[in-house]
């Protein structure tokens, strides 16, 4: 859930509908559902599989013989173990997410145009100017009512998408009041973070009206970095409790993989995600000193040790491959290009409609809805690209995970469980546009390819070769 908050914060950062959850590197996915899963999936590796209560997937006969695995046939056999009604349900859930992507975008666009056309935005700015002398305080006086209006107008869709729909598909575990309470906390954090970000951005807009897109990118990247850094300390605790995993049978094999990969972890964290959801997940969050790898209680309850080892090895892959820093860099480039384009469109729109909307220019807070409109439109258009950037890093983490855990069947089973909320066997075009993680089919295929390659274990007698210094 913490991800939701980050999502909101960044939403502000880039535009009202951007959901950058830069914190958890892998699977916090509800990819298609958020306007920009792109960033969301990113640092977020919550592998959530939905409430599959041990489906009892067992190795199909065709994959049983390790010596002669036909990867294509084995992949098919794994996919065939999922009952048809289950497959139809998860397909429907995920495909519904495609539409939500569109509805969310249209809603943000409609709210923005409404605030401009009705001149509510201009009146809010007038109010802020009367209320305070200091420019930065004026920005805050504009921002807080703005957030309230947007949150209120988008509440019905939010309620459907994140409450009713999640219950309808059996993923949610919260009744309305606890859910609503968390929404309020998230909204409070959004207001605080969003207002700080807007004050910083508008300072840049005022000082450098021509080159704001360069310095503004810097502000957003620093903001994202700070959010990711403090998330485990100051955001996640509002929603979930992280405690040290004490079951040695699970913990020790995970720590062994960490040691083998130079990860300085002395404990594994367990998060009580079952408070909100039935999905299986794990995540890496934080950056620099705050990085931690955690698995959720649903994963512990629903998965076997091989599956858990594979999922955790995947999360370690994000850490070892330095995905947080890489994604932050990629997004920085996206933001820079987006801001450069925004500058052109913003100025053109103000030239044409500025008088009607009573928006004076980029440094005028009354223009915020226009800024949000342009940024969310750009974001909507590049969704497939952002998804692909994230999906590629997820694939890297998968490759790292399979090589570290050496659990091809565990990987296949985990992929099937994640398939409860992500379409298992999409068309290539679908995967390109909507998937910020590889599909179940792609993951199982990778696992079976790995299995078929039959790599040697690398255990040779220590005395067989000369020590390095004698060579």
Which residue in the block uniquely carries the two structure tokens 């000369």? 466
Residue 280 beta carbon to Zn ion: minimum distance, rounded to whole angstroms: 13
Residue 24 beta carbon to Zn ion: minimum distance, rounded to whole angstroms: 8
Residue 43 beta carbon to Zn ion: minimum distance, rounded to whole angstroms: 9
Which residue in the block uniquely carries the two structure tokens 């979930």? 240
Spatial contact of 67 and 129, defined as CB atoms under 8 Å apart: no
Closest by CA position to 192, among listed 8, 21, 22, 368 = 8
Spatial contact of 1 and 182, defined as CB atoms under 8 Å apart: yes
Strands of 242-244's sheet, edge to edge?
A: 242-244, 269-271, 292-296, 282-285
Q: By C-beta, is 319 or 339 nearer to Zn ion?
A: 319
Closest by CA position to 443, among listed 424, 430, 429, 428 = 424
DSSP, residue by residue, 303-348: --HHHHHHHHHHHHHHHHTTHHHHHHHHHHHHHHHHHHHHHHHHHH
Q: By C-beta, is 76 or 395 nearer to Zn ion?
A: 395
Spatial contact of 290 and 234, defined as CB atoms under 8 Å apart: no
**CA dihedral sign of residues 326, 331, 334, 340:** negative
Closest by CA position to 190, among listed 157, 232, 233, 223 = 223
β-bridge partners, 284 = 293
Q: Please, where are the H alpha helices in 19-67?
A: 37-42, 61-64
Give every CB contact of residue 471 below 8 A, 6+ residues apart in sequence: none
Q: By C-beta, is 297 or 394 nearer to Zn ion?
A: 394
The one segment of 101-109, 132-140, 359-367, 394-402 that binds Zn ion by CB under 5 A? 394-402
Residue 315 beta carbon to Zn ion: minimum distance, rounded to whole angstroms: 7
* Burial category of 300 from C-beta neighbours within 10 Å (exposed 0-12, middle 13-18, buried 19 and up): middle
Which positions from 432 to 471 touch Zn ion by CB under 5 A, shown as an x/- string?
Answer: ----------------------------------------
Kindly provide the b/e burial profile for residues 381-396, where b requires at least 16 CB atoms within 10 angstroms of the residue's own CB: ebbbebbbbbbebbbb
Which positions from 352 to 391 touch Zn ion by CB under 5 A, shown as an x/- string?
Answer: ----------------------------------------
Residue 49 beta carbon to Zn ion: minimum distance, rounded to whole angstroms: 13
Residue 45 found at the interface with Zn ion (CB under 5 A): yes
Residue 36 found at the interface with Zn ion (CB under 5 A): no
Residue with the shortest CB distance to Zn ion = 26
Residue 399 beta carbon to Zn ion: minimum distance, rounded to whole angstroms: 11
Q: By C-beta, is 217 or 405 nearer to Zn ion?
A: 405
Task: Count the neighbouring beta carbons within 10 Å of the beta carbon of residue 83.
Answer: 10
Residue 165 beta carbon to Zn ion: minimum distance, rounded to whole angstroms: 24
Residue 34 beta carbon to Zn ion: minimum distance, rounded to whole angstroms: 16
Closest by CA position to 42, among listed 424, 229, 416, 318 = 318
The one segment of 19-27, 120-128, 175-183, 219-227 that binds Zn ion by CB under 5 A? 19-27
Q: By C-beta, is 42 or 138 nearer to Zn ion?
A: 42
The one segment of 40-48, 157-165, 196-204, 275-283 that binds Zn ion by CB under 5 A? 40-48
The one segment of 23-31, 89-97, 238-246, 428-436 that binds Zn ion by CB under 5 A? 23-31
Residue 217 found at the interface with Zn ion (CB under 5 A): no
Residue 397 beta carbon to Zn ion: minimum distance, rounded to whole angstroms: 5
Residue 274 beta carbon to Zn ion: minimum distance, rounded to whole angstroms: 20
Counting residues that bind Zn ion (by CB under 5 A) gives 4
Which positions from 396 to 425 touch Zn ion by CB under 5 A, shown as an x/- string?
Answer: -x----------------------------
Q: By C-beta, is 306 or 367 nearer to Zn ion?
A: 306
Q: Which two tokens stand for residue 172?
A: 């949610």
Q: By C-beta, is 25 or 372 nearer to Zn ion?
A: 25
Binding Zn ion (rule: CB under 5 A), the pick from 11, 19, 26, 121 is 26
Q: Which residues bind Zn ion (CB under 5 A)?
A: 26, 45, 394, 397
């Amino acid at each position: 859930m913490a991800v939701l908050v980050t999502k909101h914060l960044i939403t502000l950062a880039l535009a009202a509908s951007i959901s950058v959850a830069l914190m958890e590197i892998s699977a916090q996915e509800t990819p298609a559902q958020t306007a920009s899963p792109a960033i969301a999936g990113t640092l977020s590796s919550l592998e959530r599989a939905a409430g599959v209560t041990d489906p009892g997937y067992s190795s199909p006969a065709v994959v049983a013989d390790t010596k002669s695995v036909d990867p294509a046939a084995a992949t098919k056999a794994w996919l065939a173990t999922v009952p048809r009604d289950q497959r139809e349900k998860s397909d429907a859930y995920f495909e519904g997410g495609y539409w939500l992507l569109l509805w969310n975008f249209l809603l943000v666009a409609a709210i923005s145009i409404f605030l401009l056309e009705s001149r509510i935005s201009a009146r809010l700015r007038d109010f802020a100017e009367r209320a305070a002398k200091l420019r930065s305080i004026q920005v805050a006086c504009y921002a807080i009512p703005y957030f309230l209006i947007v949150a209120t107008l988008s509440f019905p869709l939010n309620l459907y998408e994140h409450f009713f729909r999640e219950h309808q598909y059996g993923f949610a575990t919260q009744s309305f009041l606890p859910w609503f309470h968390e929404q309020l906390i998230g909204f409070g954090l959004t207001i605080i973070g969003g207002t700080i970000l807007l004050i910083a951005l508008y300072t840049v807009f005022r000082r450098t009206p021509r080159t704001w897109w360069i310095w503004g990118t810097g502000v957003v990247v620093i903001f994202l970095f700070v959010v990711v850094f403090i998330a485990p300390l100051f955001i996640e605790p509002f929603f979930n409790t992280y405690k040290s995993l004490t079951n040695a049978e699970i913990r020790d094999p995970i720590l062994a993989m960490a040691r083998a990969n130079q990860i300085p972890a002395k404990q594994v964290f367990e998060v009580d995600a079952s408070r909100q959801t039935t999905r299986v997940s794990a995540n890496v969050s934080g950056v620099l000193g705050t990085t931690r790898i955690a698995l959720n209680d649903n994963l512990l309850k629903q998965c076997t040790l091989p599956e858990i080892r594979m999922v955790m090895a995947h999360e370690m892959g994000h850490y070892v491959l330095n995905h947080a820093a890489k994604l932050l860099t990629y997004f920085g480039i996206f933001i820079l290009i987006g801001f450069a384009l925004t500058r052109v469109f913003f100025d053109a729109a103000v030239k044409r409609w500025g008088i009607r909307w009573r928006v004076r220019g980029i440094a005028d807070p009354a223009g915020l809805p226009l800024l949000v409109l342009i940024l969310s439109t750009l974001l909507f258009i590049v969704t497939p690209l952002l998804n692909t950037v994230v999906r590629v890093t997820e694939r890297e983490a998968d490759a790292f995970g399979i090589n570290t855990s050496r659990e091809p069947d565990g990987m296949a089973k985990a992929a099937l469980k994640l398939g409860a909320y992500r379409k298992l066997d999409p068309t290539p075009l679908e995967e390109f546009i909507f998937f910020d993680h590889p599909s179940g089919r792609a993951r199982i295929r990778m696992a079976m390819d790995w299995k078929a390659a039959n790599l040697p274990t690398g255990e040779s007698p220590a005395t067989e070769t000369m020590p390095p210094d004698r060579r």
